[in-house]
Amino acid sequence: MDTKNAMPLTRRRFLALAAALAAAACTKTTRHAAIPRGGTVLALGDSLTYGYGASPEAAYPARLAALTGWEVVNGGVSGDTAAQALARLPDLMKRQPKLVLLGIGGNDFLRRIPEAETRRHIGETIVAVQGAGVPLVLIAEPKPSLGALVGSLSDHPLYEELAEQYRVPLFAKGWSRILGDNGLKSDAIHANAEGYALFAQRLAAFLQEQGFWRG
């Protein structure tokens, strides 16, 4: 083996790998414009956004508002599907939010709506928000499974796929971790006040990492 030729090749590979890792790090640490106190944020979703199982003041949008100083609009409606949330979006966007937090799809899974329809409606919601020049964070919801009976939940895989497709930040495992803990639930599929508070804290930390909140 000719070591004189091998060393430059190894060095080139090292430099290429270093460049790739640097590019990946830049992608992961891309920071968004911070939203000032008093800025409007839209939380669009279903009963988990609405705060079913707790008082309105305990819902995660209210908790997030208290943490960040933002005006967080609770756009959650119990029982809403992805199609229904999409239909409500135009009126809610009149509030001129600086950020949209989208957590929808759980009712689609429970009603066994074809995944292709859910994917399309969530995708159309993302496109509409992006078309308005507003950043969006996608919030994953759990995949229905027997694991819920033993406190083991995982996100539905479509959220990761959609986040990658539309290049939006994904807040993963937020609800799966809360709803996998019986002490944080008001019933089988909803959080209690403590659960919503912890979800808001973890979401706020994620938004700080993304640059939306200065902390």
Domain match, 16 and 60 both? no
Domain match, 21 and 51 both? no
Domain match, 55 and 113 both? yes
Total number of domains in the chain? 2
Cα 107 to the center of its chain, rounded Å: 16
Torsion-angle region of 53 (φ positive above 0: left; ψ -120 to 50: alpha; else: beta): left
pLDDT of 8: 43
Domain match, 188 and 87 both? yes
Q: Is residue 53 part of a domain?
A: yes
CB 155, CB 173: distance < 8 Å: yes
In this structure, what CATH number is given to the domain that contains residue 133? 3.40.50.1110
Domain match, 77 and 164 both? yes
Domain match, 75 and 181 both? yes
Q: Is residue 215 part of a domain?
A: no
Number of C-beta neighbours around residue 110 at 10 A: 12
Running DSSP on this structure, what letter comes out for residue 190? Answer: -
pTM, entire model: 0.84
Domain match, 182 and 140 both? yes
Domain match, 67 and 7 both? no
Paired strand residues for 191:
185
Domain match, 26 and 47 both? no
Running DSSP on this structure, what letter comes out for residue 112? Answer: T
User: For residue 213, what are the contacts with CB-CB under 8 A and spacing of at least 6?
Assistant: 34, 35, 68, 70, 204, 207
Per-residue pLDDT of the chain (215 residues; tens, 9 = 90+): 444 443 344 444 433 443 344 344 434 446 799 999 999 999 999 999 999 999 999 999 999 999 999 999 999 999 999 999 999 999 999 999 999 999 999 999 999 999 999 999 999 999 999 999 999 999 999 998 765 555 679 999 999 999 999 999 999 999 999 999 999 999 988 999 999 999 999 999 999 999 999 98
Structure-block tokens of residue 193: 């006040």
User: For residue 89, what are the contacts with CB-CB under 8 A and spacing of at least 6?
Assistant: 44, 125, 128, 129
Domain match, 11 and 115 both? no
Structure-block tokens of residue 3: 């070591």
Domain match, 19 and 75 both? no
Domain assignment of residue 21, given as a range: 1-30
User: For residue 193, what are the contacts with CB-CB under 8 A and spacing of at least 6?
Assistant: 54, 55, 58
Residue 9 to residue 155: CA distance in whole angstroms:
42
Number of C-beta neighbours around residue 191 at 10 A: 27
Q: Is residue 166 part of a domain?
A: yes
pLDDT of 145: 73
Domain match, 79 and 98 both? yes
Residue 190 to residue 184: CA distance in whole angstroms:
9
Which residue's entry shows tokens 């106190």?
Answer: 37
Q: Is residue 150 part of a domain?
A: yes
